[in-house]
Each structure stands twice: as C-alpha cells, then as structure tokens.
Structure 1
Amino acid sequence: MILHHNGLIKLEYSPATDILQVNYPDLYSYQLTEVRHSLSIMVETIRNYDVKRLLLDASVTSIHITDEENSELNLNLARELSKTRLQKVARIHPLSPLRESIAQKNIEKIFHSGIVPYELKTFSHRTEALSWLLN
C-alpha cells in the first residue's frame, strides 16, 4: 500500500513482510528543503508504522548537490533512522560507479560515527535486497 507520495518520494509499505520500499529522491540544490522534509516524512512513517525493514533504491537517483551537502543529508538521515526501531536497511546502489564510490565514503562516515544500530547492506538488484530483508 502507498502510504505517501508527493512527487519527490513514494513510500510503499507491505504489512505482510513489514518492508517499506522507497526510491531515493533526486537531489538538486534548489529542492534540498523539500527533500529533507520528504525524508523526515519517511522517518516519521517508519516510526508510526513501527517498520523493521527498509529498502532504499538509489539505482536511478540523480545527484546534483555538493559532496558535502550529500554527506550531511545522509548523516542526518542515518541519525534520524537510528531513533526508530529499524532492524535492517537494504540499499540498491546507483548505476554510476562514481556515485557508488561517493556513497560508500558516506556510509563509512556514518558507521564511524557509531550511530547506526541497524544492519545495512548494499545490493545491485531489488530481488536480492528483498530476499535479504526477509531472512
């Protein structure tokens, strides 16, 4: 069922599997305020529905912000997700090797910060990610 859809982000939840599927939004400087708000809606939805499994699909996300803005956005998201009861987060990596390299650096920063109580694993395909979330 679709819990939220605002043009930037769509939250699709399956109560049977307790998986929230989200396509990570495109990131443009002029939309950062709206993206932050959409991500806060996602976190609040995770909290309200007590979601334990999250699938973040960044495979086709377009990023047009600075690496610093991107890093800050991801660190804040991880910090907010750590305040929920999430247990597993599966992410589908971007198709661009350069974008994935930047994402991995951000993930390392997040793990070094010590704020992530949930499992996080990166996948190439949605089916692999869903399978891991269900196990």
Structure 2
Amino acid sequence: MAETSGYSPSADATPSPANCRRLNIACCYRNLEELKLLLSLGVNVNCRWEQPSRTPVMTAAWGEGGRTSEVVELLVSKGADVSLMDNHANNFFFYACLGGSMKLVKFLLSLNVVDIDTRNKEGETAGDRARNHRT
C-alpha cells in the first residue's frame, strides 16, 4: 500500500453533532433552503457525518444533480474546507471525481488548495478512484 500523502485529521472538523446529519442530507438532496437554515443556526460547515466521516461539501460533491454547484459554492463561501479528508483519506477532490462533475473538478482546481496527486489509504489518486469506480 502506498503512503498516504498529506493525510492528517483536522482539528477544525468537529465530531458529528445532531444537526450535522440534517446538514449532510440537505447537501445530498441539494436542498438549498434547508442548507441555508441550518447554516444560519450555526451548524458547523465542516462537521463530520457517520462513516467514513464525510463533511457536507464531500456529500454535496458526490453525484451530479440539479444545484450541486450552487450547494458547493455556498458551503465554500461559508468556510467549508475542501482539503479535509475522510477516514479513508479521500478529500473533496476524490468525491468530485467520483461524482463525475467536471464543473466541480474545475472549481476545486481554481481554488488551488488540493494536490491532485494526493493518495488515499488504498494508494489511489482521485483519478484512479474515479476510473476504478466507473468500471
């Protein structure tokens, strides 16, 4: 297994509070109204949800769907950290690639905050993961 490049759990990412589940579900279903409400109530935009300890921006990035870009851009504008990794050392870039959204991949690359050659705990890059997931 290849060494994981850059993996370190962030102190900024909190354990899963009660409303973190709701925030992630709002991201999953691209429910902007619910998302805005929960963020206005102070739910941490970088909270962790269940296993593998995804953040809301990871949840939003995984999969195409209406309003995906709007949800991701809102989360980032509210301080979502796209460099955080889940328990498998997958970050937002991995999830955006898995979801197949070139728009999100380009958005992330424009932020210039993630090394595209980072490997997860299985030794895969985001490109490897997306390619293997699609076969």
Give the TM-score normalised by structure 2.
0.41
- Higher RCO (Cα < 8 Å, 6 or more apart): 2
Larger proportion of strand? 1
